[in-house]
Structure 1
Amino acid sequence: MNIAFLADAVDPARGGADRCIVEDARGLAGAGHRVSVLTGPGADLGAASLVEEVRIRVPRFARERRVAAFAEGTGAWLNAHREAVSVSFAPSGPVDVHFPHGGCWKAWREAEERSFLDPEAGRRRGRQIDGNARQMLFRGMEERLMRSEKPPFLIALSGRVRDDFVRSYGIDPVRCEVLPNALGARSPASDGVRAEVRARWGVPSDAVIGFFAAHNFRLKGLSALVQAVGALPEPARDALTIAVAGKDSGVPFLREARALRCDHVFRFLGALPSLHGAFAASDFLAQPTFYDPYSLTTLEALAAGLPVVTSRANGASEAVLAAGAGWVVDDAGAADALATVLGQAIDPAARSRAAAAARSAPTPITPKDRLDRLVSILERATSGPRSTRCS
């Protein structure tokens, strides 16, 4: 099969979705398929052997104009290579398959508003998004793509993402498949690493550590976590440490915690080069996100044998529930409900049962099975009428 990935600024060194896209390209090429990755300025495929990089020429415009120029350039390339099965990972022009690793734009927009504890602040954020030319371009591109006469086949990382697209655009569920990320190799915590990392953090050996990691602290639920910790009974609160990793500023969240007299619970670590040591030092992952299509951090925590506290807005909560390896709240913004499950995560017996479930959880999908399913989906997606560009 001849496959074209549209991946504007992909860089596997950033991890997350970028790493998954490049790994899929390498896997397909290694299986004998011809894979071209169409990239724009700032992309770096790394050592993507067997993969052909096609650099789309994009003038140095403002960011929103660069997005449009990349869409035009990839459209021209695809029209000249009609045999290629085209796969987009962000809103684009017409393609055969849309595999949005960032989820549904409309659902993300709604989550951005909900992630503010102050409703008026949330509405201001909504107006800010609606006034951003680049975001409005993404919105328009997604709507045109999904409401077109021949919309692409949709691959969703989770049932949550599939349902978001069905709700937002009325797409036919028959033209959609759920394909989650593969769970990495299991990496159980080492007692030696655990003690060393805790000593470096200055956390007592008998403390209960909940680990929170994100690039966007607010969207991933740190304010919600602060409110929930503030609602805990004092003995439970004093037994808990929340270790926070990421580049975001902790100042506003410490201010919120100080107002609730729980700032002593939170330790801000900055960005970490690897999460392995943090998983070893921690007792559970705290990820009460307002939006995450399918969190790789959740999968990595499960692989490390950590139970998980998260929300249904995290597509990977499906794996947590299937394994019984943690606790899932319906709404990250419900402080009392989140405090209740935090109390269970702090309880040694409940946490031990969830950790045992995480350690023994069956792998949701292996990398090989995932690659085989991806090939099958691409073949199915192009077995009938193709996208507008191929009409």
Structure 2
Amino acid sequence: MKFAFILYKYFPFGGLQRDFLRIAKACQDMGHTIVVYTMGWDGECPEGFEIHTHKPSAMSAPKRNTRFQHWVQQQIEANPVDIVVGFNKMPGLDVYYAADTCFEHKARHLRKSWYKYTPRYRHFSFNEDAVFNANNHTVSLLISANEKVLFQKYYQTQEERLHLLPPGISRDRRRPENADEIRAEFRTEFGIKDDEHLVLMVGSGFKTKGVDRALQALKGLSLAVRAKTKLFIVGQDDPRLFRAQAQSLGINSQVTFFSGRDDIPRFLVGADMLIHPAYNENTGTVLLEALVAGLPVLCTEVCGYAHYITDAQAGDVVPSPFHQEDLNRRLETMLTSNNQKQWQANALSFADTADIYSMPERAAAIIEQTAESLTQSGVTR
């Protein structure tokens, strides 16, 4: 069958984009043809994918999104497919991969009262309703049990339309047999001494991921610990605002920003712990990537995958409501604790036993089943 995959933008280092690619390849491995519609593709084109790009000219994101959606509809009408799979909320989807959190919940509880009267609210609210409304047919692939509850609260979406997937951590994130050698080479390359702490932060979208909180936590360490601690921040975003913050805090010499990279496994092995103090995070795939690499984690409770850190006993979780002083204290405690080796052992044991790798295959199976149902029902596009 022919599957249409839609996402606003592809680049190699985004969590949603990586999930899209792995699911699409899993569908391709099942023998299906993959047609992609996107506003922009930055990176290598997978063999066998048919990729179409179109970025409309518009002054605002809502207008650009709407024009792109209309273009996609026209393309599919001219070149029919068996199923339409979206990775951003929009009308006309048969399957939606829910990487984003519930917009309506955020609009009601994290925005000012006047926000509901803005064009931006109307656009994103309409798109979310088009996916989850009880009168629609779209099947959703969910990666967070918490968000499932919220979608059903606001839209009364039928249970059979919501499929909760297991995590889908790439096995190349597993700690390799020569990890000690890789770690030594990595720390030599970046000038990290044996008695220094390297704290790692990974994620595109520095504001949402809480880079400002991580910088403040580094500043909040005791002088002796701070003097031996460095922070590496890796992600596809503009670091200028946060470089200025580090400068104002007097810690710029201890903070290094990297753009998105394809050698994250080296960083996971070379660091001493991962910090992820996100303001909002549907899942937090990097938390599990750290665990399977044997890297202890400090994250906020709002992360959908935070419970895995507790389950694995491989780090610490900052409870809600968030307090900066609490994060600072927990960071210092982890850096000075004698539990690092035990946390690593717990993480690697968890990696060997937990079902955290099968998401792409499970998602592909549901997409295929949905496509077969649409075909049997005589639905045409």
TM-score (norm 1): 0.78
- Map of 1:33 onto structure 2: 32
- Map of 1:86 onto structure 2: 84
Q: Percent identity?
A: 20
Asked if residue 257 in structure 1 is aligned to residue 249 in structure 2, the reply is: yes
The letter of the residue matching 1:165 is F
- Map of 1:357 onto structure 2: 346
Contact 1:35–1:52 at 8 Å: present in 2 too?
yes
Over residues 122-157 of structure 1, what are the superposed CA-to-partner deviations in whole Å (9 max), with x where a residue is unaligned?
86xx98x87985675233322343236215221112
User: 345-354 vs 373-382, which deviates more?
Assistant: 373-382
Asked if residue 72 in structure 1 is aligned to residue 52 in structure 2, the reply is: no
Q: 1:181, CA displacement in angstroms?
A: 2.3
Residue 313 of structure 1, aligned match among 302, 305, 324: 302
Over residues 265-317 of structure 1, what are the superposed CA-to-partner deviations in whole Å (9 max), with x where a residue is unaligned?
84123326332332233101001111222333323322321111112222232
The letter of the residue matching 1:267 is V
Q: Distance in 1 between matches of 2:318 and 2:218?
A: 15
- Map of 2:169 onto structure 1: 182
With over 3 angstroms needed to count, the CA separation of the structure-2 counterparts of 1:67 and 1:75, relative to structure 1, is: same
Over residues 43-63 of structure 1, what are the superposed CA-to-partner deviations in whole Å (9 max), with x where a residue is unaligned?
35734233333x376653445
Secondary structure in 2 matching 1:362: helix
The letter of the residue matching 2:271 is S
The letter of the residue matching 2:245 is F
Count of residues paired in the alignment: 370
- Map of 1:271 onto structure 2: 259
Residue 339 of structure 1, aligned match among 321, 325, 328: 328
Contact 1:237–1:265 at 8 Å: present in 2 too?
no
Secondary structure in 2 matching 1:86: strand
Residue 51 of structure 1, aligned match among 44, 49, 52: 49
Asked if residue 138 in structure 1 is aligned to residue 128 in structure 2, the reply is: no
Q: Distance in 1 between matches of 2:215 and 2:108?
A: 21
Q: 1:88, CA displacement in angstroms?
A: 1.0
User: 206-215 vs 334-343, which deviates more?
Assistant: 334-343
> Which aligned pairs between 1:125-164 and structure 2 lie closer than 5 A?
137-147=123-133, 149-164=135-150
Q: Distance in 2 between matches of 1:320 and 1:384?
A: 38
The letter of the residue matching 1:97 is V
Unaligned runs of 5+ in 1: 114-121
| Root mean square deviation of aligned Cα | 3.6
With over 3 angstroms needed to count, the CA separation of the structure-2 counterparts of 1:47 and 1:349, relative to structure 1, is: same
Residue 288 of structure 1, aligned match among 259, 277, 281: 277
Residue 42 of structure 1, aligned match among 40, 49, 61: 40
The letter of the residue matching 2:161 is R
With over 3 angstroms needed to count, the CA separation of the structure-2 counterparts of 1:255 and 1:154, relative to structure 1, is: same
User: 218-227 vs 190-199, which deviates more?
Assistant: 190-199
Contact 1:78–1:84 at 8 Å: present in 2 too?
no
With over 3 angstroms needed to count, the CA separation of the structure-2 counterparts of 1:344 and 1:374, relative to structure 1, is: same
Secondary structure in 2 matching 1:313: coil
Secondary structure in 2 matching 1:268: strand
Q: Distance in 2 between matches of 1:372 and 1:201?
A: 37
- Map of 1:102 onto structure 2: 100
The letter of the residue matching 2:335 is I
Q: Distance in 1 between matches of 2:75 and 2:148?
A: 29
With over 3 angstroms needed to count, the CA separation of the structure-2 counterparts of 1:240 and 1:83, relative to structure 1, is: closer
Over residues 86-107 of structure 1, what are the superposed CA-to-partner deviations in whole Å (9 max), with x where a residue is unaligned?
2111021122211132333345
With over 3 angstroms needed to count, the CA separation of the structure-2 counterparts of 1:300 and 1:71, relative to structure 1, is: same
Q: Distance in 1 between matches of 2:121 and 2:188?
A: 44
With over 3 angstroms needed to count, the CA separation of the structure-2 counterparts of 1:110 and 1:221, relative to structure 1, is: farther
Contact 2:201–2:232 at 8 Å: present in 1 too?
yes
Residue 248 of structure 1, aligned match among 226, 239, 244: 239
Q: Distance in 2 between matches of 1:245 and 1:83?
A: 38
Q: 1:183, CA displacement in angstroms?
A: 3.6
TM-score (norm 2): 0.80
- Map of 1:10 onto structure 2: 10
The letter of the residue matching 1:376 is A
Asked if residue 23 in structure 1 is aligned to residue 22 in structure 2, the reply is: yes
Contact 2:40–2:54 at 8 Å: present in 1 too?
no
The letter of the residue matching 2:367 is L
Over residues 217-269 of structure 1, what are the superposed CA-to-partner deviations in whole Å (9 max), with x where a residue is unaligned?
232112223444455455444453333334422334325634xxxx3784123
- Map of 1:60 onto structure 2: 57
Unaligned runs of 5+ in 2: none
Secondary structure in 1 matching 2:338: helix
Contact 1:209–1:240 at 8 Å: present in 2 too?
yes
Contact 2:90–2:128 at 8 Å: present in 1 too?
yes
Secondary structure in 2 matching 1:328: strand
Q: Distance in 2 between matches of 1:181 and 1:46?
A: 21
- Map of 1:119 onto structure 2: none
With over 3 angstroms needed to count, the CA separation of the structure-2 counterparts of 1:267 and 1:356, relative to structure 1, is: same
